Amino acid sequence: MNLTELLAPYSEPQPDGTPLRTVEGQVKWLLSKSIPRSHIDQAVLSVYDEIERGKTFASGADLDHYLLEVATHLHKVELTDSVVKLEAFFNQLMKTHRDAAASEIIAKMQRPLNWLQRFRRWLFRL
């Protein structure tokens, strides 16, 4: 799969002949959107595979936005999986640490004090 050849119909050449849109430029643009490189690579391979199989876009801008949509979706899926794993870890931690000290620490973590309550406790400590 040659990405440059697949991008050629959407590259929109400038008057001097250099292409306005390149794969490298798309990757830099997606990196500026704070999407991890691994998700960008997956999205580029997926979208260009679709182009190779016959998918077309009305313009290069549509291709860019579709690429952004795919990369964002991949990123959200991984974040959702991470949250689910974190919740499972926390639930397992709650089950295994039932002693009084751990329960007290977890209870404090679940209900943080606001700044006024902390100040009052500091001010009137015994």
Distance CA 9, CA 29 (A): 19
Distance CA 113, CA 117 (A): 6
- Residue 111: pLDDT band by 50, 70, 90 thresholds? low
| Predicted local confidence at residue 106, as pLDDT | 67
| Predicted local confidence at residue 112, as pLDDT | 59
**Interhelix angle 23-32/60-96, nearest 10 degrees:** 40
Say yes or no to pLDDT of 60 above 80: yes
| Predicted local confidence at residue 9, as pLDDT | 87
The answer to pTM > 0.85 is: no
Average pLDDT over residues 75-84: 90
pLDDT digits over 90-103, tens only? 887 776 665 666 66
| Half-sphere CA count of 123, side-chain side, radius 13 A | 6
| Predicted local confidence at residue 12, as pLDDT | 79
**Cβ distance 17 to 66 under 8 Å?**
no
Looking up tokens 């119909």, which residue turns up? 9
Which of the two residues, 38 and 121, has the higher pLDDT score?
38
> 19: which strand partners?
13
pLDDT digits over 14-49, tens only? 788 777 888 999 999 999 999 999 999 999 999 999
Token pair recorded at residue 105: 């620490």
